[in-house]
């Protein structure tokens, strides 16, 4: 598959490789990460990344080989009206109306970037809040609202999202993170796919020991 293509399955106009559709330099998406949308996946940048105002200089960073379901939303700092203020109303945004010389970004809490690791699965209409980091291999449940960091290979769900389980035992997670298959060049990766698609721990261990020998 050409990594520069927009539609990885030409017969399916609802699935796109995000990296090849993004124009905003503050949205960084890795190779082969796809987004599926029931209507138009090409509107991800405007419909799914919200309150992402340039004045904040905050970023959405998504790794390689992520799977993002329809309606998944990334809510940025511009939607977090400052909690410590006596008012909820963002006077600074409309400062010309009030003739006040107040910095616009003083209207909201700035919690930082949203960072999504590699091979992360984000379920239908899940919401990821500003400042959250999601580790490699994690799974975010349908309509979960993620307000805090998610560990590599952790499964979370609910409102707010809570820990459900770890996908694998610690030793398997360690092997997968050591392999970091998402960083391999495509020719090296292709023959590994049959092992990665199964759950044979012994085969995975052999693979890691062959490709990533310990010092």
Going by the DSSP 8-state scheme, the letter that residue 168 receives in this structure is: S
Contacts of 136 (CB under 8 A, 6+ apart): 63, 117, 118, 119, 120, 152, 153, 176, 177, 180, 182
81 is catalytic: yes
Q: What is the DSSP string of 123-137?
A: -TT-EEETT-EE-TT
* Cα–Cα distance for residue pair 58/52, rounded to 1 Å: 7
Contacts of 103 (CB under 8 A, 6+ apart): 92
* b/e 177-194 (16+ beta carbons within 10 angstroms → b): bebebbeeeeeeeeeeee
Helix (H, G, I), strand (E, B) or coil at 92: helix
The catalytic position among 26, 36, 81, 105 is: 81
Q: Which residues does the annotation mark as catalytic?
A: 81
């Amino acid at each position: 598959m050409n990594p520069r293509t927009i539609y990885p399955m030409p017969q399916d106009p609802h699935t796109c490789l995000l990296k090849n559709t993004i124009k905003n330099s503050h949205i960084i998406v890795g190779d082969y990460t796809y987004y599926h949308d029931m209507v138009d996946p090409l509107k991800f940048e405007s419909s799914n990344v919200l309150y992402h105002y340039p004045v904040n200089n905050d970023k959405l960073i998504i790794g390689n080989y992520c799977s993002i379901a329809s309606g998944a939303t990334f809510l940025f700092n511009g939607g977090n009206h400052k909690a410590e203020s006596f008012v909820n109303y963002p006077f600074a945004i409309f400062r010309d109306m009030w003739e006040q010389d107040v910095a616009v970004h003083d209207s909201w809490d700035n919690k930082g970037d949203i960072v999504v690791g590699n091979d992360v699965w984000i379920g239908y209409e899940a919401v990821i809040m500003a400042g959250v980091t999601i580790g490699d291999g994690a799974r975010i449940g349908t309509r979960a609202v993620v307000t805090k960091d998610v560990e590599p290979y952790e499964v979370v769900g609910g409102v707010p999202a809570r820990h459900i389980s770890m996908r694998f035992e610690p030793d398997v997670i360690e092997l997968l993170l050591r392999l970091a298959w998402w960083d391999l060049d495509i020719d090296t990766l292709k023959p590994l796919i049959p092992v990665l698609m199964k759950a044979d721990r012994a085969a995975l261990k052999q693979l890691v020991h062959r490709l990533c020998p310990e010092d």
